[in-house]
Amino acid sequence: MKIFLNKPLPDVGMELLKAAGLELLLPEEEIVSRAAWIAYCQQADVVVGIGAKGFDAAFFGQCPNVKAIALFSVGYDQVDIFAATQRKIPVSNTPDVLSRATSDVAFLLMQSVSRLAAFNFERVKSGNWLQQFQPTLHLGQELYGKTLGIFGMGRIGFEMARKCKAAFDMKVIYHNRNRRPDMEAGLNAVYVTFDELLAQSDVLSLHANYTAASKDLFDAAAFRKMKANAILVNTARGGFVREQDLYEALSSRRIWGAGLDVSDPEPMSSDNQLLSLPNVCVLPHIGSATVEARNGMARLVAENVIAYVKGARMPTLVNMEVYE
């Protein structure tokens, strides 16, 4: 079988694939156009998606030979799962191995925004360090005993909640498609409605899987329901947040601050209005950007591909329905 990777995996993954004797297709060009990507995929039995988007119904129509997809990500919104399942194409992702790293970034963003760290760092770089002490200028807020709201209590959301409870003794509330009693016990977490999550959270951290139905869920109407001191943290997907509404909520002090590791679109334009605000910290989608997490992801991708080639079920299969 031919395996197409639009980019090389970290070494641990490439070595596993090569040791399995698989025929690997890699593009010669560093930046692959959509047309070239389709052309490569048309030659492949299995496609490894590394930052690749557009596994939609049109893709499956253009690439009828593709039999499986292995994603180098925990999110799988870049794949039309319904279309893949209809064609009995298994799709795998890379859960668990990046949960701690991504929650670390959410935790980092929360603290950076709460203490205006990015803004104050820019002050130092620009020589705008105040010559005289001003007791009421550029003040942050403390997090001790505050309420953390988790939108999407999965593995990453749980890790974020665990950190916040241990470090700041934060009260944990969460909203999820279903209650998670298994996660409530260790955190003393309370399940709430979406509106209650908005109204009660001092920090609201997004960790849910993204779907088209979730687009712009956090808009002006949602921000009007949040506390004036609230901090929004998003390490999930940029599509959850209507950025113009977020800008207006922040610039008018309707909410206190925002920390974003994702945007819509990506990359974020350098003239995006959010970047002009002192109460915003933006990172370039680095949630899984550690050696340990990326190696773990590469290993999982390789294990999924090898399992499929051997006729076994992919270990981290997304669409179990392909076997029904």
Catalytic residues: 237, 266, 285
For residue 50, CA distances in Å to 21, 183, 215, 298 come to: 21, 31, 23, 10
Q: Are 258 and 279 in contact (CB under 8 A)?
A: yes
Tell me how far apart the alpha carbons of residues 130 and 95 are, in angstroms, rounded to a whole number.
Answer: 46
Tell me how far apart the alpha carbons of residues 97 and 100 are, in angstroms, rounded to a whole number.
Answer: 8
Dihedrals phi, psi of 105, to nearest 5 degrees: -70, -40
Tell me how far apart the alpha carbons of residues 44 and 24 are, in angstroms, rounded to a whole number.
Answer: 9
Q: Which amino acid is at 80?
A: D
Classify 133 as helix, strand or coil: coil
Contacts of 297 (CB under 8 A, 6+ apart): 10, 13, 72, 73, 94, 97, 98, 288
Tell me how far apart the alpha carbons of residues 25 and 108 are, in angstroms, rounded to a whole number.
Answer: 38
Nearest to 15 by CA among 225, 289, 302: 302
Q: And the tokens for 58?
A: 């049109």
For residue 78, CA distances in Å to 57, 68, 91 come to: 11, 14, 11
Q: Are 257 and 231 in contact (CB under 8 A)?
A: yes
